[in-house]
Amino acid sequence: MNHQLFIPDFLKRAVTYYPDKIAVIDNNIRLTYRQFQERVNRLSNLLINLGVEKGDRVAYLAPNTLQMLEGFYGVMQIGAIMVPFNTRLIPSDYDYMINHSGAKVLLVDAELSDLIEPVKEGLTGVEHFIILPFEEEQKKEGWKNYEDLLNQASLEAPPIPQMNELDIANILYTSGTTGRPKGVMHSHRSLYFNALNTIIHLRAADKDTLLHTLPLFHVNGWGTPFAFTGMGATHVMLRKINPRLIFDLIEKENVTVSCMAPTVLNMLLNEPKSTTLEVTHDIRVVIAGSAPPPSFIKLVEEELGFEFIQVYGMTEAAPFLTVGHIKSHLNFEPERVYHLKAKTGIAMLNMDVRVINEHGDYVKPNGKEVGEIITSGNSVMEGYWKQPEETAKSIVNGWYYTGDMATVDEEGYVEIVDRKKDIIISGGENISTIEVEGEIYKHPAILEVSVIAVPDEKWGEIPHAICVLKEGHSLTEDEFITFCRGNLPHFKAPKSVQFMSELPKTASGKIQKNVLREPYWKEKGRKVN
């Protein structure tokens, strides 16, 4: 008899074996798994009372809160589809995504409701607008109140419709750099297998306390609630990034694991309290995407005392593909270990990850030949919502083409050298912006840097650096250029630099290179994409 895989099973297990353990901590709120399940049941029942049926979309616009976390279970356990939105967009973005998703119910945090008001009248498909009050006084006129509706709903288990593990459980809109966002569809099955990979490779256990620093609407944020819930861990919600508060929570709540963006880790490294952090337990910090340079990883492990774990993935893969696991049978020098941790890593279980050249052949495992990462596995998306043509472009013969360019070394470690769109081709030479940025980060005055291609009459395009300096430091353009030429081949060294107070970022902390490129390419006949 085949057993179907459903996301609510993770919470069911936690309630069965850890009913009286603290499940969620949100500011002054502390709920056991039994209490959390009761709120989840009330949410499911209130949605049913509002007419939500299997396959209906329920949209959320909220930061990391108790109400956001319970949405993943309250929505999915009745067969509805959870659609979380990025909280850092503009009203017209929400107008498009809400209408495109066909959301029947929209739940919005009180502090974010002003983003919806300008487009509210045009959201004709939304039948119910619900406000999520962080405080009682944040109730809003013209919106139904979430806590009032919740208290009126039954805490008993809701009626469950007939479901299949391939039913869509979640639609997540990409923070695409060009064009309209695409709605990535994930089934219960794909999310379930990613959760299993998380449990195995990130060592999730009931002794863990997970601090949610990545937003739950982001792929690396919403992947963790299932895995750590299923194992009976405790969730600590963080509404806004605040380095000092993060340190306080680590100490007070005995946080053992957190998924963070490199920019957040950078903030922690530059927070004065980092030198006085008193923690006697092990802490794992998980970084997704392209790893920071080895020197940065060394700082994280030596100055903060965190174990650095690199994972790689994307929204379309639910999200994890690889992990920077250091093979135990290999004896590496400490410095070599940092270099390995800066690589994308090796494939996780249930995922087939390959790097192929333009002919479709595997690249040579020499750490030099560059190819595109493609993947196939249980966690790959079902496709893009209402965009079959885009789906067909991305998934070919069962393989998802990531657009990430990488090498493979003799031990099978994949290393991303760039996005296809971020490789600079200068005078016929390929320049990896990641490599250049890694060298620039060695300068003691550099807090953040992004290297982009800018047009050049002679070379076609050349590297240009945009930097944020650490507080109290100064650096001239000449000093910067001299430093780069002393550490890089001249054709790779940036020819110019711009200093900014901050770099534009997506909600997940990724630097938006497309925004930085725009002024340089808008008058040209093409864009660097």
Q: Is 528 a residue whose pLDDT tops 60?
A: no
Mean pLDDT, the chain, whole residue set: 90
334 φ/ψ angles, rounded to the nearest 5 degrees: -50, -45
What residues contact residue 486 under an 8 Å CB cut-off, 6+ apart? none
Query: Residue 527 — pLDDT band, cuts 50, 70, 90?
Result: very low
Where exactly are the structural domains of the chain?
Answer: 1-188, 424-521
Query: Residue 524 — pLDDT band, cuts 50, 70, 90?
Result: low
Query: Residue 358 — pLDDT band, cuts 50, 70, 90?
Result: confident
Cα gap 178→420, rounded to integer Å: 14
Query: Residue 79 — pLDDT band, cuts 50, 70, 90?
Result: very high
For 370-386, the pLDDT digits (tens) are 999 999 999 999 999 99
Q: Is 176 a residue whose pLDDT tops 60?
A: no
The amino acid at 236: V
Q: Is 525 a residue whose pLDDT tops 50?
A: no
Query: Residue 93 — pLDDT band, cuts 50, 70, 90?
Result: confident
* CA nearest neighbour of 310 among 339, 336, 333, 331: 339
Mean pLDDT value of segment 24-38:
97
Q: Is 526 a residue whose pLDDT tops 60?
A: no
**Structure pTM?**
0.85
Question: Residue 262: its pLDDT value, please?
Answer: 81
Mean pLDDT value of segment 380-396:
95
Q: Is 81 a residue whose pLDDT tops 90?
A: yes
Cα gap 509→262, rounded to integer Å: 7
Mean pLDDT value of segment 221-236:
91
Lowest mean pLDDT among 142-146, 461-465, 508-512: 508-512
Query: Residue 529 — pLDDT band, cuts 50, 70, 90?
Result: very low
Helix H or strand E encompassing 22: strand 22-26
Question: Residue 507: its pLDDT value, please?
Answer: 64
Pick the CATH number of 424-521 from 3.40.50.970, 3.30.300.30, 3.40.50.80, 3.40.630.30: 3.30.300.30
Mean pLDDT value of segment 78-97:
92
What residues contact residue 423 under an 8 Å CB cut-off, 6+ apart? 405, 417, 430, 431, 432, 433
For 256-295, the pLDDT digits (tens) are 999 988 878 888 988 886 666 676 789 999 987 656 788 8
What residues contact residue 428 under an 8 Å CB cut-off, 6+ apart? none
Cis, peptide link before residue 319, omega less than 30° from 0? yes
Q: Is 408 a residue whose pLDDT tops 50?
A: yes
Q: Is 347 a residue whose pLDDT tops 50?
A: yes
For 470-493, the pLDDT digits (tens) are 999 999 999 999 999 998 888 889
Does the domain at 1-188 match CATH 3.40.50.12780? Answer given as: yes
For 314-323, the pLDDT digits (tens) are 899 999 999 9
For 108-127, the pLDDT digits (tens) are 999 999 999 999 999 999 99
Question: Residue 273: its pLDDT value, please?
Answer: 66
Q: Are 149 and 43 in contact (CB under 8 A)?
A: no
Q: Is 1 a residue whose pLDDT tops 70?
A: no
Question: Residue 396: its pLDDT value, please?
Answer: 95
Domains 1-188 and 424-521 share a fold: no
Q: Is 3 a residue whose pLDDT tops 90?
A: no
Q: Is 175 a residue whose pLDDT tops 70?
A: no
